A and B are shown apart, each in its own frame.
Chain A
């Protein structure tokens, strides 16, 4: 039977305490990979993820930090190489989506700076550090969004960071190809995670589901699966690609 085997691979998942990051961490572990996660504020959730990972028989740990701080991002990658003995997989997942609709005329500098710092600076810092040490045959998967391709009214800050991730991925995919490291983006639409709690309230979830061609909101596992696929040998010839995981949303957006 065909299966994905990541035994012996050493992975870091940013924002791994919940949502897509947690689901990805667990799926990587089910495929046999050792997994370190970063988290910002949810220590208990992060420890629960670590416990679940360890129950799957892999090495696991959680590192607290604000990855928009370059020192924290580099500490995360240093811990991976120190404890695991190297780094094969980086999943750049951590990010924020300020839930309130904020037209550009009313978006303040602080929100703009914070969203860019968390969603883009952190990706740059962690990816740069990983690129310095990642093994040949490595995999980098960054989590984008439908918003990065078709924009998102009221969320220009978020959409700008996710659009930037696409061009970032396409650039470093070429740079790292000679080292046989692939770099791809998985771009989800609406997902059933805490990030979407505000728009999902008061019947919002159902209205949103009706707008998606496949008629449902994705689970975190629906997004984790394609991420893990891109980390597998099956995807070794895919690089610089944006893999949409949105139930067809962008097609009608």
Chain B
């Protein structure tokens, strides 16, 4: 007889697989369009910025690293930065301006027209992400939100909302990272390799 632990583990993964299958069927077009938006930004010399709270902050810095360093193959570095990693900036902004400004302040400081800001949120309600989206729009930065649970108010503030059809925070974050990887793989496969192959 299977232990309940095994059964629980299998259930989590089967739910995730079912959700991933649904996202592949329903959202592949939106994901491809987002990859094209990223390609256009990089062709234009723009950069990618990523932000999110908690597990989504981890997604943000995970994905920025894929672009700066590598995903699957050696190639030229891409310009990408996570807005979740500089503790001096984060604490100063939170202390002096309020936590809702921790990302918006960085967007105002770093963004240039033609950049792309990715906002990862399972609720779409975090005030610091809503402020970041508004700051990005003011800076002529394209915005992409990875959302779930219907998207929340953030869906109305961004150029492109990728809303994963789930109420599970855990599965939403897992799928957000998978979507981020899919976009990165598309982009990386189409841009130049590093001279000499492996770095």
A152 at the interface (CB under 8 A from B): no
A178 at the interface (CB under 8 A from B): yes
Contact of A179 among B39, B189, B191, B195 (CB under 8 A): B195
Question: Which listed segment binds A: B42-50, B60-68, B104-112, B161-169?
Answer: B42-50
A201 at the interface (CB under 8 A from B): no
Number of B residues near A (Cβ < 8 Å) is: 15
A-chain residues with CB within 8 Å of residue B125 when the two chains form the complex: none
Q: List 14 A-B contacts (CB under 8 A).
A: A71-B44, A74-B40, A74-B43, A78-B40, A78-B43, A82-B36, A82-B39, A86-B192, A87-B192, A129-B44, A134-B192, A135-B192, A135-B193, A136-B196
A236 at the interface (CB under 8 A from B): no
Q: Which of B182-199 contact A (CB under 8 A)?
A: 189-196
A-chain residues with CB within 8 Å of residue B36 when the two chains form the complex: 78, 82
Q: Mark A53-79, 1 if CB is under 8 A from B, else 0.
A: 000000000000000001100110110
Q: In the complex, which range does the number of interface residues on chain A fall in?
A: 20 to 34
Q: Is there contact, CB below 8 Å, between B195 and A128? A: no
Q: Is there contact, CB below 8 Å, between B193 and A136? A: yes
Q: Is there contact, CB below 8 Å, between A132 and B42? A: yes
A4 at the interface (CB under 8 A from B): no
A5 at the interface (CB under 8 A from B): no
A-chain residues with CB within 8 Å of residue B44 when the two chains form the complex: 70-71, 74, 129
B-chain residues with CB within 8 Å of residue A85 when the two chains form the complex: 189-190
* Most B CB within 10 A of own CB, among A71, A82, A178: A82
Q: Which of A138-196 contact B (CB under 8 A)?
A: 138, 178-180
Q: With the chains together, A87 CA to B189 CA distance in Å?
A: 11
Q: How far is the CB of A181 from chain B (nearest CB, A)?
A: 9
Q: Is there contact, CB below 8 Å, between B195 and A136? A: yes
- Which residues of A are in contact with B by a Cβ distance under 8 Å? 70-71, 74-75, 77-78, 81-82, 85-87, 128-129, 132-136, 138, 178-180
If the complex has contacts A74-B40, A132-B42, A133-B42, are A178 and B190 also in contact, measured as CB distance less than 8 A? no
A-chain residues with CB within 8 Å of residue B189 when the two chains form the complex: 85
Q: How far is the CB of A37 from chain B (nearest CB, A)?
A: 18
Q: With the chains together, A116 CA to B95 CA distance in Å?
A: 51
Q: With the chains together, A129 CA to B42 CA distance in Å?
A: 9
Q: How far is the CB of B112 from chain A (nearest CB, A)?
A: 14
With CB as the reference atom, state the residue of chain A lying closest to B194.
A136
Q: Is there contact, CB below 8 Å, between B45 and A81? A: no
Q: Which of B116-153 contact A (CB under 8 A)?
A: none
Q: Mark B38-79, 1 if CB is under 8 A from A, else 0.
A: 011011110000000000000000000000000000000000
Q: Is there contact, CB below 8 Å, between B195 and A132? A: no
Q: Is there contact, CB below 8 Å, between B195 and A81? A: no
Q: Is there contact, CB below 8 Å, between A81 and B191? A: yes
Q: With the chains together, A85 CA to B195 CA distance in Å?
A: 17
With CB as the reference atom, state the residue of chain B lying closest to A178.
B195
Contact of A133 among B192, B194, B195, B196 (CB under 8 A): B192
Counting from the closest, the 8 A-B pairs by CB-CB distance are A136-B195, A81-B190, A78-B40, A74-B44, A78-B43, A133-B191, A129-B43, A179-B195
Q: With the chains together, A133 CA to B44 CA distance in Å?
A: 10
Q: Is there contact, CB below 8 Å, between B195 and A82? A: no
Q: How far is the CB of A106 from chain B (nearest CB, A)?
A: 38
Q: With the chains together, A129 CA to B45 CA distance in Å?
A: 8
Q: With the chains together, A183 CA to B123 CA distance in Å?
A: 50
With CB as the reference atom, state the residue of chain A lying closest to B40.
A78
Q: With the chains together, A180 CA to B45 CA distance in Å?
A: 21
Q: Is there contact, CB below 8 Å, between A132 and B45? A: yes
Q: With the chains together, A162 CA to B191 CA distance in Å?
A: 30
